[in-house]
Amino acid sequence: MPFTYQRTIYFSDTDAAGVVYFANLLSICHESYEALLAASGIDLNEFFSARSIAVPIVHASIDFLHPMRCGEVIQVQLQPTEIETYKFRLNYTIALANRSSSDQIAASAHTVHVCIKTDRREKTNLPESLQQCLLQAIESA
């Protein structure tokens, strides 16, 4: 089973039409990535403040299937794929927890992350702790 992150949609997540603003859903996907890291024992402060390496997102894509509104509960299922020495892809399936199965999937997204040395902006190997986190998430799926 993929890693699952549950969250309520808040008013601040929505746009003038009352539905989740696209960039905010990508931010929620990133929250689920952070939750995965924390669940595997990675210190988030240390991971995101590392001075020698960074793991930026180099590609992001999202498809919306149903609107998500304030007060609805969503479940983000996160599945790492395409793990290579210096990069990986995360697939996200966003489901509405309180809807019937016929329209439960509200969106799907993916992000591609590349590990770089911050001083030279060159690709470098993923940290061992991150590799283990991603592999464990795949094995538990």
Confidence check: pLDDT of 139 > 90:
no
21-59 pLDDT, tens digit each: 999 999 999 999 999 999 999 999 999 998 899 999 999
For 75-125, write each residue's pLDDT tens digit: 999 999 999 999 999 999 999 987 666 568 999 999 999 999 999 999 999
Q: Count the domains in the chain.
A: 1
Nearest partner of 113 among 129, 128, 135, 130, judged by Cα: 130
Could you tell me the CATH number of the domain that includes residue 67?
3.10.129.10
CA atoms within 13 A on the CB side of 108: 4
- Per the structure, the complete domain to which residue 35 belongs is given by 3-139
Residue 50 in tokens: 């590392």
Per the annotation, the verdict on 13 as an active-site residue is: no
Which listed residue (15, 43, 63, 103) is catalytic? Answer: 15
- Cα–Cα dist 39/138, whole Å: 14
State the pLDDT at residue 140.
Answer: 78
- Rg (alpha carbons) of the chain, rounded to whole number: 16
